[in-house]
Amino acid sequence: MLLHDFLDDAVADVHADLPALVTASRSQGRSIRRRRRALSAVGAAAAVTLVAAIVVALVPGPGGRQGEVAADLTNPVRVGALGGETAPATPAGVVSALAESVDRVADGKFGRLQGEVDDYEALAALLFEPVGGTGPAGQVMINLQPLDGVGTAPYSCEDAWFEGITDCETHRLENGDSLRTYWQLDDSEFGVGSQRMAVEVLSPARHLRVVVNVLNTNPWAAGQHRAEPVLDLEQATAIATQPWWDARRLPVEYVAAGKRLDLFEG
């Protein structure tokens, strides 16, 4: 007898209580959304698209006032060369990896470090105030997700289209991954004048989607904007293309460094 038939037969009389399943999973799903919003406010325009990253927009918490920018940390994470060993990802570990990655490509101050790891993805966000220029600190965010729901290679800008997107480009990297970059202007979350630059790495080999978002503002800035996002395209690409990014495991150095960080509770 075929195993397929064995398996089919073994569960043939199993049926779900569909109305109850809908009700219970909706309720649990709402809790997940609320928990995520406690960390992040999802950028409305980006969240409704298949390909847009879940944009982490830090919500002002009890310690934050409109217009206040708390980017006062210098070099919050220092690790030496990575040894190649990994450990399970932690929220602080992901933030640690992001902060150190930003620090490797740009000079400036950091603030409001946040991270989350769940069964599906890992994400982190921080404020970064680069040396030079005027305006508020900008958010830098990273999402590490399974490569699901984004179609198959070759990836195109048509797949990534949503309202407000501009200057989208795709490139094939030497290792076979795809790089997709685009800007979103004047989004509903941050208002007219806001810019979000997104750099996506779509890696079938690692079954991973890395999305780095860089803003020219932050939720505490109350409509203030820099002329440009706080990292440029080359810097954001350098961060997104690090080969060790993973939704579940990180270099042990970052996980260890995360234990020394105080995360912002928004």
Partner 1 sequence: MTDLADQQVGAVRRPESFEELVAATGDRMLRTAVLLTGDRHAAEDLVQSTYAQVFARWRLVSRAENPAAYTRTILTRLFLSDRRRKRVPELPLLDGADGPAPPGDPTLRLSLVEALVTLPPLDRAVLVLRYFHDLPVAEVAAQTGLSSSACRTRASRALARLRTHFPDLAD
Applying the rule CB under 8 A, the residues between 128 and 167 that interact with partner 1 are: 146, 148-152
Distance, in Å, from the CA atom of 216 to the CA atom of 193, rounded to the nearest integer, reads 9
Angle between helices 91-105 and 233-240 (to 10 degrees): 140
Retrieve residue 45's tokens. 């325009």
Residue 104 or 207: the one with the smaller Cβ distance to partner 1 is: 207
CB 142 within 8 A of CB 94: yes
Q: Which residue of 36, 164, 228, 252 would you call a contact of partner 1, by CB under 8 A?
A: 36
Applying the rule CB under 8 A, the residues between 81 and 120 that interact with partner 1 are: 119-120
Q: Which helix (H) or strand (E) holds 203?
A: strand 195-203
Q: Which residue of 38, 47, 185, 222 would you call a contact of partner 1, by CB under 8 A?
A: 47
State the minimum distance, in angstroms, from the CB of residue 206 to partner 1.
9
**Phi, psi torsion values for 210, nearest 5 degrees:** -105, 130
Residue 26 or 104: the one with the smaller Cβ distance to partner 1 is: 26
Q: Which residue of 8, 85, 107, 163 would you call a contact of partner 1, by CB under 8 A?
A: 8
CB 59 within 8 A of CB 37: yes
- Dihedral sign for Cα atoms in the order 246, 251, 254, 258: positive
Retrieve residue 77's tokens. 């994470």
Instruction: Check residue 74 for interaction with partner 1 (CB under 8 A).
Output: no
State how far Cα 101 lies from the chain centre.
14
State the minimum distance, in angstroms, from the CB of residue 128 to partner 1.
27
State the minimum distance, in angstroms, from the CB of residue 207 to partner 1.
5
Instruction: Check residue 66 for interaction with partner 1 (CB under 8 A).
Output: no
- Lookup result for tokens 């440009």: 228
State the minimum distance, in angstroms, from the CB of residue 35 to partner 1.
9
Instruction: Check residue 173 for interaction with partner 1 (CB under 8 A).
Output: no
**Site size for partner 1, by CB under 8 A?**
42
* Beta bridge partner(s), residue 42: 56
Applying the rule CB under 8 A, the residues between 205 and 264 that interact with partner 1 are: 207
User: CB neighbours of 171 closer than 8 A, spacing ≥ 6?
Assistant: 178, 179, 180
State the minimum distance, in angstroms, from the CB of residue 158 to partner 1.
13
Instruction: Check residue 31 for interaction with partner 1 (CB under 8 A).
Output: yes
The DSSP letter of residue 266 is -
Distance, in Å, from the CA atom of 116 to the CA atom of 129, rounded to the nearest integer, reads 22
State the minimum distance, in angstroms, from the CB of residue 12 to partner 1.
8
Q: Which residues bind partner 1 (CB under 8 A)?
A: 1-11, 14-16, 18, 21-22, 24-33, 36, 47-50, 54, 119-120, 146, 148-152, 207
